[in-house]
């Protein structure tokens, strides 16, 4: 990664890059990267040459933007092979953060003046493994033609302030490091060809079309059909509801902004950090524009608010459906219950031979067995014999009852807490299990949600959660065990979500020892236990899980997709 002094050394290359851009040209950054504000194409017969379509503005073509010259387009070429788009998104976010820090240090503004700051929210990625906004879910760009079109390059598109073009060098260096770590060679582009062809140059861009969560998409509400607008409203409301807890909260926030009710707005956004985060999301989606420090609804924002006021129940129903639909792949998904093998988990019907088996006769399978026997010995008459009888045996499994033990300390504020809440809602809506939630923070632990299948009750309780204070993990585990002893659930599973290690002791003077001692009780009681934590704390959390007789999953970050995948993996093991 670049050091601070490198920023001064990039002044001349950045100036040269700016000159090319102003002349409506593209440029190479190093040997692997083509950078411009235009669409790039490659002829398979000349893979070493990249064509820049000078009249195909990247913003207009990719994002239907009315005004050109706003979107910068990176193509970083490499040997054909998979490059993890999630790793690219993470490293690009870090590169932008580093550039912003160096920029602020050099100018001495320390972010008090937002001029020149590069926003990670305004960058999209696509590789052969997927894509989307680099700060979003990264669950987009899955269409096969789109992924195949990016087997030999990493695509990035984003907004850069004119005075911050040096950030492009930070981004390219970061992406190249991930490509090489993937075991792939960088590919040199020998020539750039500039073509002044109108209308996209006749290039077929259909493989590049797909749904996206990009903030770069311009909301052309006057041009869109109602069906297109409705889907956009639903998608934006769903994403915002994950941050604000519900579609009703989204509506209340937009109403407060429209009425210039700062007191009401600040009551919804409980901390300055949360206010800034939500304003960034709203601004990125084109819902608000900032007039100084004051948010103002755009035309699209006003239409979204009107839509929510008229269709709030429909939006809430759509959001619940999205929670249900989000499930990671499992080998058993899509298989009928009747076809589950005897050793498979899950409830269903097993078809068994007649010998020493009791149960109802399964007529279709019995006739099929007789027909197979006749086919093996042709010339006879179809008769059902004793050896053809098939009976069905009903197999059931007991539902687990999941107690989600959430670290609600200050370090969990923001996206981590949003991800933990997302996991809880997802478990309730996508499994038959009862779910409870226990929080630990500061010097206390509380049963936030007793075991329930009621989504409304769960939703209201989750809205009341605010991340503050230290991490009394030992107290949280003790409270959890005591609650399970009182509630007596069937097959309880404790699912611990934490981003750190204990920092508050309630019995001894050692918070780490307190948590380990409390974990022994989990093993004694025979409760299921799974810990989801961050890799830097691997050693301690491994020891905690071993003491509790459970398992541990280490993540790079507590993101909603990673939490859901981990929970489903654990559920499949248990079932």
Q: Which string of b and e fits 69-91 if b means at least 16 CB within 10 Å?
A: ebbbbbbbbbeeeebbbbbbbbb
> Mean pLDDT, to the nearest integer, of 349-372?
68
Residues of the chain with pLDDT > 70, as a percent, come to 85
- Does the pLDDT of residue 75 top 50, yes or no? yes
Query: What pLDDT, on a 0 to 100 scale, did the predictor assign at position 359?
Result: 63
Number of domains in the chain: 4
Burial (CB < 10 A; 0-12, 13-18, 19+), residue 198, is exposed
The strand pair at 33-36 and 27-29 is best described as: antiparallel
Query: What pLDDT, on a 0 to 100 scale, did the predictor assign at position 61?
Result: 86
Report the C-alpha gap between 231 and 225 in whole angstroms.
10
Which of 60, 52, 5 minimizes the C-alpha distance to 33? 52
Which of 473, 468, 455 minimizes the C-alpha distance to 414? 468
> Of 107-111, 401-405, 565-569, which range is least confident?
107-111
* 194 found inside a domain: yes
How many helices and strands, by DSSP H and E, does the chain display? 18, 20
Q: Could you tell me if 419 and 563 lie in one domain?
A: yes
Query: What pLDDT, on a 0 to 100 scale, did the predictor assign at position 339?
Result: 37
* 412 found inside a domain: yes
Asked if 497 and 404 touch (Cβ cutoff 8 Å), the reply is: yes
3-state helix, strand, coil in the chain (%, to 5): 45, 20, 35
Residues 6 or more apart whose CB falls under 8 angstroms from that of 489 comprise: 401, 403, 434, 451
Instruction: Give the total residue count for the chain.
Output: 575
Q: Could you tell me if 480 and 410 lie in one domain?
A: yes
Report the C-alpha gap between 458 and 472 in whole angstroms.
23
Rg of the Cα trace of the chain? 28
Query: What pLDDT, on a 0 to 100 scale, did the predictor assign at position 277?
Result: 79
Which of 347, 354, 441, 361 minimizes the C-alpha distance to 398? 347
Residues 6 or more apart whose CB falls under 8 angstroms from that of 564 comprise: 326, 327, 328, 422, 423, 426
Q: Which residue has tokens 């906004």?
A: 133
Q: Which residue has tokens 């989307």?
A: 132
Q: Pick from 167, 182, 208: which residue ends a domain?
A: 208
Q: Could you tell me if 195 and 306 lie in one domain?
A: no
> Of 120-129, 374-383, 558-567, which range is least confident?
374-383
* 284 found inside a domain: yes
Query: What pLDDT, on a 0 to 100 scale, did the predictor assign at position 111?
Result: 47
Q: Could you tell me if 414 and 364 lie in one domain?
A: no
- Does the pLDDT of residue 333 top 70, yes or no? no
Q: Could you tell me if 493 and 546 lie in one domain?
A: yes
H-helix or E-strand spanning residue 566: helix 560-574
Q: Could you tell me if 406 and 481 lie in one domain?
A: yes
* 129 found inside a domain: yes
Full-model pTM = 0.69
Which of 518, 486, 524, 520 minimizes the C-alpha distance to 504? 518
- pLDDT range class, residue 99, cuts 50, 70, 90: very high
> Of 21-30, 112-121, 240-249, which range is least confident?
112-121
> Of 2-6, 439-443, 477-481, which range is least confident?
2-6
Q: What is the 3-state secondary structure (H, E, C) of 117-140?
A: CCCHHHEEEEECCEEEECCCCCCE
Q: Could you tell me if 538 and 490 lie in one domain?
A: yes
Query: What pLDDT, on a 0 to 100 scale, did the predictor assign at position 220?
Result: 65
Query: What pLDDT, on a 0 to 100 scale, did the predictor assign at position 252?
Result: 93
Query: What pLDDT, on a 0 to 100 scale, did the predictor assign at position 345?
Result: 44
> Mean pLDDT, to the nearest integer, of 249-255?
93
Report the C-alpha gap between 148 and 161 in whole angstroms.
31
**Who has greater pLDDT, 357 or 468?**
468
For 255-311, write each residue's pLDDT tens digit: 999 998 888 887 777 666 778 778 878 887 889 888 877 889 999 999 999 999 999
Asked if 481 and 527 touch (Cβ cutoff 8 Å), the reply is: yes
For 167-214, write each residue's pLDDT tens digit: 999 999 999 999 999 999 999 888 899 998 654 444 545 445 556 788
* 459 found inside a domain: yes
Q: Could you tell me if 526 and 482 lie in one domain?
A: yes
Q: Pick from 208, 236, 269: which residue ends a domain?
A: 208
Report the C-alpha gap between 118 and 90 in whole angstroms.
15
Q: Which two tokens stand for residue 510?
A: 């050692």
Query: What pLDDT, on a 0 to 100 scale, did the predictor assign at position 548?
Result: 95
Which of 243, 403, 430, 234 minimizes the C-alpha distance to 327? 430
> Of 113-127, 349-363, 431-445, 499-513, which range is least confident?
349-363
For 523-561, write each residue's pLDDT tens digit: 999 999 999 999 899 999 999 999 999 999 998 888 888
- pLDDT range class, residue 337, cuts 50, 70, 90: very low
Q: Which two tokens stand for residue 162?
A: 């004119």
Q: Could you tell me if 232 and 192 lie in one domain?
A: no
* 303 found inside a domain: yes
- pLDDT range class, residue 344, cuts 50, 70, 90: very low
Q: Could you tell me if 438 and 541 lie in one domain?
A: yes
- Does the pLDDT of residue 330 top 50, yes or no? no
Q: Could you tell me if 316 and 384 lie in one domain?
A: no
Q: Which string of b and e fits 477-502 if b means at least 16 CB within 10 Å?
A: bbbbbebbeeeebebbbbbbbbbbbb
- pLDDT range class, residue 137, cuts 50, 70, 90: confident
- Does the pLDDT of residue 334 top 50, yes or no? no
Q: 301: phi > 0 → left, psi -120 to 50 → alpha, else beta; which?
A: alpha
Query: What pLDDT, on a 0 to 100 scale, did the predictor assign at position 331?
Result: 37
- Does the pLDDT of residue 232 top 50, yes or no? yes
What is the number of other CB atoms lying within 10 angstroms of the CB of residue 503?
14
Query: What pLDDT, on a 0 to 100 scale, did the predictor assign at position 358?
Result: 58
Asked if 50 and 189 touch (Cβ cutoff 8 Å), the reply is: yes
Q: Which two tokens stand for residue 90?
A: 């993470």
Asked if 287 and 280 touch (Cβ cutoff 8 Å), the reply is: no
* 1 found inside a domain: no
DSSP string, 306-332: HHHHHHHHHHHHHHHHHHHH-----TT
- pLDDT range class, residue 388, cuts 50, 70, 90: confident
Query: What pLDDT, on a 0 to 100 scale, did the predictor assign at position 148?
Result: 87
Which domain does 391 fall in, by range?
348-395
Query: What pLDDT, on a 0 to 100 scale, did the predictor assign at position 285?
Result: 82
CA angle 29/34/37 to nearest 5° reads 110
**C-alpha torsion sign, points 495, 93, 229, 254:** positive
- Does the pLDDT of residue 351 top 60, yes or no? no
- Does the pLDDT of residue 442 top 80, yes or no? yes
For 477-524, write each residue's pLDDT tens digit: 999 999 999 999 988 999 999 998 999 988 888 999 999 999 999 999
Q: Pick from 395, 424, 451: which residue ends a domain?
A: 395
**Who has greater pLDDT, 228 or 72?**
72
What residues form DSSP beta bridges with 359?
none
Q: Which residue has tokens 């939630």?
A: 437
H-helix or E-strand spanning residue 192: strand 191-195
Q: Which residue has tokens 């440029």?
A: 27
Query: What pLDDT, on a 0 to 100 scale, did the predictor assign at position 508?
Result: 87
Average pLDDT value over all residues in the chain = 84
- Does the pLDDT of residue 385 top 90, yes or no? no
Query: What pLDDT, on a 0 to 100 scale, did the predictor assign at position 364?
Result: 79
* Helix 299-325 vs helix 226-244: crossing angle, to nearest 10: 70
Q: Could you tell me if 382 and 283 lie in one domain?
A: no
Q: Which residue has tokens 């981004």?
A: 171
Report the C-alpha gap between 10 and 99 in whole angstroms.
12
For 48-74, write each residue's pLDDT tens digit: 889 999 888 999 888 878 889 999 999
* 342 found inside a domain: no
What are φ and ψ of residue 485, in 5° steps? -60, -35
Report the C-alpha gap between 334 and 102 in whole angstroms.
51
């Amino acid at each position: 990664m670049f050091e601070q002094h490198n920023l001064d050394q990039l002044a001349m290359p950045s100036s040269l890059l700016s000159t090319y851009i102003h002349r409506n040209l593209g440029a190479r950054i190093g040997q692997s990267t083509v950078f411009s504000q235009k669409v790039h194409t490659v002829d398979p017969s000349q893979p070493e040459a990249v064509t820049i379509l000078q009249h195909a503005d990247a913003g207009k073509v990719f994002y239907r933007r009315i005004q050109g010259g706003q979107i910068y387009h990176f193509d970083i070429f490499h040997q054909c092979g998979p490059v993890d788009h999630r790793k690219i998104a993470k490293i690009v976010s870090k590169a932008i953060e580093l550039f912003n820090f160096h920029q602020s240090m050099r100018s001495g503004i320390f972010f008090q003046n937002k001029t020149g700051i590069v926003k990670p929210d305004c960058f999209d990625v696509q590789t052969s493994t997927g894509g989307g906004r680099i700060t979003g879910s990264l669950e987009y760009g899955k269409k096969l033609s789109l992924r195949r079109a990016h087997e030999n390059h990493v695509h990035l598109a984003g907004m850069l302030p004119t005075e911050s073009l040096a950030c492009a060098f930070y981004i390219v260096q970061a992406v190249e490091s991930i490509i090489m770590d993937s075991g792939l060679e960088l590919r040199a582009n020998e020539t750039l060809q500039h073509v002044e062809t109108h209308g996209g140059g006749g290039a077929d861009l259909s493989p590049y079309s797909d749904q996206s969560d990009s903030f770069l998409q311009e909301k052309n509400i006057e041009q869109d059909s109602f069906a297109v607008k409705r889907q956009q409203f639903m998608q934006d409301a769903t994403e915002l509801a994950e941050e604000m807890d519900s579609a009703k909260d989204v509506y209340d926030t937009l109403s407060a902004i429209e009425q210039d009710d700062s007191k009401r707005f600040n009551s919804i956004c409980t901390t300055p950090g949360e206010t800034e985060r939500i304003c960034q999301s709203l601004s990125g989606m084109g819902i608000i524009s900032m007039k100084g420090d004051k948010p103002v609804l755009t035309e699209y924002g006003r239409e979204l608010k009107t839509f929510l006021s008229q269709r709030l129940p429909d939006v809430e129903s759509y959001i619940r459906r999205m929670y249900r639909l989000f499930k990671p792949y499992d080998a058993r998904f899509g298989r009928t219950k009747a076809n589950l093998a005897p050793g498979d988990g899950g409830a269903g019907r097993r078809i068994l031979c007649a010998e020493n088996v009791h149960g109802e006769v399964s007529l279709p399978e019995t006739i099929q067995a007789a027909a197979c026997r006749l086919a093996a010995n042709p010339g006879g008459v179809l008769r059902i014999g004793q050896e053809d009888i098939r009976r069905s045996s009903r197999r059931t499994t007991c539902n687990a009852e999941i107690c989600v033990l959430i670290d609600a300390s200050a370090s969990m504020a923001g996206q981590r807490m949003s991800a933990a809440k997302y996991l809880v809602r997802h478990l309730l809506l996508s499994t038959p299990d009862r779910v409870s939630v226990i929080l630990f923070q500061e010097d206390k632990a509380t049963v936030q949600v007793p075991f329930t299948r009621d989504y409304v009750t769960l939703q209201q309780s989750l809205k009341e959660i605010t991340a503050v204070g230290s991490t009394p993990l030992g107290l949280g585990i003790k409270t959890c065990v005591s609650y399970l002893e009182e509630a007596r659930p069937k097959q309880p599973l404790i699912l611990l979500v934490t981003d750190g290690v204990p920092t508050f002791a309630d019995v001894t003077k050692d918070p780490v020892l307190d948590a380990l001692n409390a974990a022994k009780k989990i093993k004694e009681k025979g409760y299921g236990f799974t810990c989801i934590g961050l890799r830097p704390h691997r050693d301690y959390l491994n020891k905690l899980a071993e003491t509790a007789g459970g398992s541990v999953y280490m993540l790079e970050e507590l993101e909603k997709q990673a939490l859901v995948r981990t929970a489903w993996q654990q559920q499949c093991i248990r079932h």
